[in-house]
């Protein structure tokens, strides 16, 4: 009987740990994937001639 209580407690603790890790690994909702810049703004970055410097 004591073994079942210990096994049940371990399962509950592992379930809580998994739930916390899943919740913490989600990306924040208020951050935009482009970092606040539109996709069109990125097109000009690669055209800059880096050999001029």
**pLDDT means over runs of 10, the chain (53 residues):** 96 97 84 59 56 57
For residue 3, the model assigns a pLDDT of 96
Question: Taking the model in full, what pTM does it have?
Answer: 0.51
Q: Which pLDDT belongs to residue 52? A: 56
CA 12, 13, 19, 23: dihedral to nearest 10 degrees?
150
Check residue 11 and give its pLDDT.
98
Distances (CA, A) of 31 to 23, 26, 34: 16, 12, 9
Report the helix count and the strand count for the chain, using DSSP H and E: 2, 0
Say how far residue 53 (Cα) sits from the centre of its chain: 37
The residue among 26, 23, 27 whose CA lies nearest residue 15 is 23
3-state secondary structure of 26: coil
């Amino acid at each position: 009987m004591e073994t079942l209580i210990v096994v049940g407690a371990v399962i509950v603790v592992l379930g809580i740990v998994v739930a916390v890790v899943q919740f913490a690994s989600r990306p924040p909702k208020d951050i935009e994937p482009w970092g606040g810049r539109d996709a069109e703004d990125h097109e000009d970055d690669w055209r800059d001639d880096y050999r001029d410097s």
